[in-house]
Amino acid sequence: MKEKLLAIVLATLSLWVGADGHKSSGVIIPESVPQGAFATLMVAAKNPKDYTAYLASQPQLFENIGVAVAGVCITHTGADYPGQMMVWSGYPSLERAIEGLTKYDPSDAPKKLSAMRDVKYNAIWKPLKQFDLAPTGIAPGFERVMRVKVEPEKLTAFVAAANQYEEEAKEAGIKLQVGVFLPIGGGPLEADTLHVRFVAPSASETGARLDNMFASGIDPNSGLAKMYQMMTPVSDTLESCEQLYTATQ
C-alpha cells in the first residue's frame, strides 16, 4: 500500500509516464527529500540588467506574496528567445509556494514592470536533494542548467549520483553544488523532465571545471558518469543567477 501511494504521489509530479507511454510500477520518491520549494516566472526582458535592477529596488513585490528568498537568472547561451531570464522565489514548503500563485498575477503587474518584460510561463519546483542558497551554499552563482529526462524507476539512483558527484568535487577542491528539481504545473515545456543545475561561484570556475573534465576524462565510476548514463538531455544553457531579496522574518 505504501509503495502504491508513493507512486500515485509521484504521478501528480509529472514523472508517472515512461518513455513508452505506459505506467511504471517501479516509481519511488528519493529518500531524504528536503523541505521547501521554488516558484519560477520565465520572461523575455527588454533589458535583463534594467529589469534586474528594478526588481532589486522593489522588495515589496516579494514581500506581498510571502517569499523567503528571491532572485533572477539570466540565460547567456542556449536561449529559446531573446532576453530569456527567470525570476525565482523560494518558499519553506510546496503549500506556501502554490498558495503564492494566488497572491500574484503576472498579467496584473505594475505598468512599469509589465513594460519591461513579456511573460512566457511559470512553474513550481520541488528540490529532490539539498540545495543551499548563500551564505550556507554557493548558489546562486554561474550555472550550467540542463533539462533532462530520467526514467522514473531510476530517479532515486540519479539523485544519489548527483550527491556523489557533488561530494567528489568537494574532495577535489572544486566549489560546486548540484541541484535536481522536479517540476509541478510547468505545462508542456517542463513535463516529464528534471532541471539539473551545476552551480559554481563564477563563470571562470565553471569553465575551469569543464577544462579539467576534458583534460582528465570522466571516471566511469564517478557520480557525474552515473548521472550521464541515466539522463537524456533535452536542453542545455549557461545562466548567471543572483539573489535579490531575503525576508527579514
Angle (deg, nearest 10), helices 223-230 and 155-171: 150
What is the SS3 assignment for 54?
Answer: helix
Give the position of cell 540542463: 146
pTM as predicted: 0.87
- What confidence tens digit (pLDDT) does each residue in 177-214 have? 999 999 999 999 899 999 999 999 999 999 999 999 99
| Average pLDDT score, the chain | 89
Selection from 129, 176, 125 nearest residue 147 by Cα: 125
Question: Which domains can be identified in the chain, with CATH numbers?
Answer: 31-126 (3.30.70.100), 130-239 (3.30.70.100)
